[in-house]
Amino acid sequence: MPLNFAILQTDLVWEKPHRNIAHFSELIKRLDDNISLVLLPETFSTGFTMNVGNIEDQAEIALSWMIETAAEYRITLGGSLIIKEESCYYNRFYWVKPDNTFVYYDKRHLFRMGREQDHFCPGNNRVVVEDHGIRFLLQICYDIRFPVFSRNRNDYDVIVYVANFPSARKHVWTTLLQARAIENQSYVLAVNRTGVDGEGVDNCGVSCAIDMKGEYKARLDYKPGVLMSSIDIEEIRQFRNKFPAHLDSDNFSLL
């Protein structure tokens, strides 16, 4: 049975978690009842800020909201938050299921051109989560430039990218999303924000769903919007069986 999903592409209010959460709550409330997976952008509650001391308390609020919302609407909810753990801040992608359980992935590749490595600690683990019989690899924004890290070892079916990707590199975003789908013979679900952030960076949107042949199944442009589509796991399996390029892949060290 296909998995129906929604990607929420919006502008974000800079460092205002309550306003962002309220906005996403309204969008989720309007979704079709058959939606099982909802994806939010990178750092969806605050924007991609390096002012981590200003928003220390937002993660607990936002994660609680994710858990409550997933349970209320019987959906899986995914998106990243800025969270402090001991002496480190992490850009953490939470994957929250409707039964109040969650897994998370800490962003491995920190965007040095945005000084992310000066404020955050990198993650050490590659995370695949199974949901509705589909295996999802969790990735965040700048990870898209590092194909060895996302190489499919026949251990996932879909790559999920949550991002704050700038308009200045829109061509990079669209090209690499298609490349990751083709080389890994997997679906790619990508959610990016729109609008200008608190650092004056304009973000390009182009949230999309791409199939294992690199073809767009659904795509948004720059403007805020909701993308709804579905994934058929049998379609992915049949394609891989017919064209088993993964059997000839090279072995790489992930970390």
The residues spanned by each domain of the chain are 3-246
- Whose tokens are 């993964």? That residue is 246
Catalytic choice (107, 116, 204, 208): 107
> Is 107 tagged catalytic?
yes
Flag whether the pTM goes above 0.85. Answer: yes
> Is 42 tagged catalytic?
yes
Catalytic choice (97, 116, 141, 204): 141
Write down the pLDDT at residue 141. 98
What value does the mean pLDDT of the chain take? 96
Query: Candidates 3.30.700.30, 3.60.110.10, 1.20.1740.10, 3.30.420.40; correct CATH number of 3-246?
Result: 3.60.110.10
pLDDT, tens digit, 9 for 90 and up, residues 138-162 = 999 999 999 999 999 999 999 999 9
pLDDT, tens digit, 9 for 90 and up, residues 123-135 = 999 999 999 999 9
